[in-house]
Structure 1
């Protein structure tokens, strides 16, 4: 199974997971060390991605693409970053 989270407007990789391992080679520099794919729910189809240390620049649309030998699916999620910034 392969799971790829990308920024929709940039089509660049935020997080990549393949064959049971995180793949960091193609990850955008601005997300390095800040993303975690929550594996606890993978077997139930939960593909939650946590972005640590949220920044205003993280705001926007993300697409999660999933593929295995038999199928491909994708879904879009809109992240709105709001709050008080020092």
Structure 2
């Protein structure tokens, strides 16, 4: 009778962001988000949410398993995940054409099959 040993390797990671970012109305801004592992987690999902007093608004979602990019309803054509940085753990979000209504707290949530972590950053408007 043969016995098998299965090893499950779970990648635990941290998500790191800047506490504040300053954008300028009409220009693009990068909301920084970095994961601490250099290996892309299995079935990684990246979600960007805006935290509003009474609700949480979806800004952008990416699912690695399907390669699916889903911008939030209010952010159609204004968001882009910097996927070229995946090999270095960079999952920052570019927000195009910043508007005064974009001011607020954004949460970067990274999920894998076995782990989840998040970090928040506050978007402020400069020269306003």
Give TM-score, length-normalised by structure 2: 0.59
For 1:79 and 1:70, the matched residues in 2 are separated by 30
In the alignment, structure 2 segments of 5+ residues that lack a partner are 1-43
Q: Which residue is 1:5 aligned to? A: 48
1:23 alignment partner, one of 61, 70, 77: 70
Q: Which residue is 2:30 aligned to? A: none
For 1:34 and 1:42, the matched residues in 2 are separated by 20
Q: Decide which structure has greater helix share.
A: 1
For 2:62 and 2:90, the matched residues in 1 are separated by 14
Q: Return the offset for 1:4.
A: 0.4
SS in 2 for 1:57: helix
Give TM-score, length-normalised by structure 1: 0.85
SS in 1 for 2:61: strand
Instruction: Select the structure of larger CA radius of gyration.
Output: 2
Deviations 1:1-45 (A, max 9, x none): 100000012311100000222024xx1x32111000011111211
In the alignment, structure 1 segments of 5+ residues that lack a partner are none
For 1:32 and 1:44, the matched residues in 2 are separated by 27
RCO greater where, 1 or 2, for CA within 8 Å and sep 6 or more?
A: 2
Length, aligned pairs only: 81
Within a 5 Å distance, the mapping from 1:60-79 to structure 2 comes to 60-79=104-123
